[in-house]
Amino acid sequence: MKTLFEKIIDREIPAHIIYEDEFCLAFHDIHPQAPTHILLIPKKPIAKLADAQANDQLLLGHLLMTVNKITQDLEIADAFRLVINNGAKAGQTVFHLHLHILSGRPFHWPPG
Ligand code: AMP
C-alpha cells in the first residue's frame, strides 16, 4: 500500500510542490511548525533513515545538497533547521523518509 508521500509523488493527493527532480520532491508541510516548513522526500520509498542502505549514499547526499538549493532559492540559507524524525518514538508519523526544513522563527536547543 502506498504511503501518503508516495501518493503526493504520484499526484494522487495535492500538495504545494516547490521543487522536483529525478530523485526527490519538496512541498509545503500541511501543518507548518514555522513560517517556512518544507518537506523534502526521496522518490525512492525508504521508510526511515535507519532503513537506508549503502547504495543510498548518493541519494542521501543529493537530498542534503537539495536542501542547500531550496534554502538558497527561498533566501533562508542563513538560518534554517533541518529535522529528520526516525521512528514513531522520535515523532515520525509518515513512514517515507522526509527532511523537515524549518525557518522564520527562533529555534531552541535542546530541541523538544
Ligand atoms: P513526521 O511527523 O516527521 O513523520 O512528519 C510528517 C509531516 O507530514 C508532518 O509535519 C505533517 O504535518 C505532514 N503532512 C501530513 N500530511 C500531509 C499532507 N497531505 N501534505 C503535506 N504535509 C503533510
Is the confidence at residue 89, as pLDDT, over 90? yes
Say which CATH number the domain at 17 has.
3.30.428.10
Q: Which three cell numbers stand for residue 80?
A: 534554517
Domain enclosing residue 30, as ranges = 4-103
> Closest by alpha carbon to 71, among 33, 49, 41, 100?
100
d(CA 11, CA 29): 16
Task: Give me the mean pLDDT over the 2-6 stretch.
Answer: 98
Please, which pLDDT band fits residue 112 given cuts at 50, 70 and 90? confident
Q: Which three cell numbers stand for residue 37?
A: 516548513
109 domain residue, yes or no: no
d(CA 16, CA 1): 23
Q: Give pTM, 2 decimals.
A: 0.98
Q: Count how many domains the chain has.
A: 1
Is 98 known to be catalytic? yes
112 domain residue, yes or no: no
Q: pLDDT tens digits for 42-87?
A: 999 999 999 999 999 999 999 999 999 999 999 999 999 999 999 9
93: left (phi over 0), alpha (psi -120 to 50) or beta: alpha
30 domain residue, yes or no: yes
Establish whether residue 91 lines the binding site of ligand 1, counting it when its CB lies within 6 angstroms of any ligand atom.
Answer: yes
Contact assessment for residue 82 and residue 98, using Cβ atoms and an 8 Å cutoff? no
* Ligand 1 pocket, mutate which of 4, 27, 97, 98 (most atoms under 8 A from CB): 4
Displacement of CA 21 from its chain's centroid (Å): 14
Count of helices and strands (H, E) across the chain:
2, 5
110 domain residue, yes or no: no
108 domain residue, yes or no: no
13 domain residue, yes or no: yes
Q: CB-based burial of residue 95 (10 Å sphere; 0-12 exposed, 13-18 middle, 19+ buried)?
A: middle
* Ligand 1 pocket, mutate which of 10, 28, 30, 82 (most atoms under 8 A from CB): 30
